Amino acid sequence: MQPPIILASTSLYRRQLLAKTGLIFQCQAPEIDETPFANEDAATLVQRLAREKACAVAQQHDQGWVIGSDQVCVLNGQIVGKPGGPEQAYHQLAQASGQVVTFYTGLCLQDSASGRQQLLMEPFDVHFRRLTPSQIQHYLQLEQPYDCAGSFKSEGLGICLFERLSGRDPNTLIGLPLMALIDMLANWGLVLPLAVDQQSEA
């Protein structure tokens, strides 16, 4: 029988993404310290935190496949966090104007019963248009993306800010590399999409 699927996150965005697969799953907040180590680069950081999130939740379950994910946004070599408010969001978008912003997303799938893991990092590049101050202000007033790293929602009006996107999976940009996750699940014998009679078992 298929072990339970557990998303080690309470993020609404990740929950909505995972729901697209048709899997039945539960969510649990991982209690970890997300402070970067000294001189830790973005790719290493997101893989470490994805693994720690999956491990923290897996340790609380006798069985289950736990999904951990973490993402950072990098502009000109610096990690850009969530703005938290309009002033910082304006500053972030003004800096991103005409630039390439790279999102690094770590993904870990851990089997609680055996401890086996799959781990990867997936990058995604956002090429910004040259933005005027009024474009930035109008966008922020309309969408208020203050809980999003980089100060935009690509699944919404944020698409107006971009010249082009480069990457394997656009879901990665929102916070969960679904294509990579589907590969991981298939590696362990769970091939999506599920038949109707399998969905209640997953």
The residues carrying an active-site annotation are 70
C-alpha to C-alpha distances, 97 to 25, 84, 131, nearest whole angstrom: 38, 19, 5
Name the maximum alpha-carbon separation found in the chain: 56
**Angle ∠(149,156,91) on CA atoms, nearest 5:** 40
Strand residue runs (E) in the chain: 5-7, 25-27, 65-75, 78-80, 100-111, 117-128, 162-166
Distance CA 37, CA 197 (A): 46
Nearest to 15 by CA among 178, 139, 180: 178
Count of beta carbons in the 10 Å neighbourhood of residue 197: 7
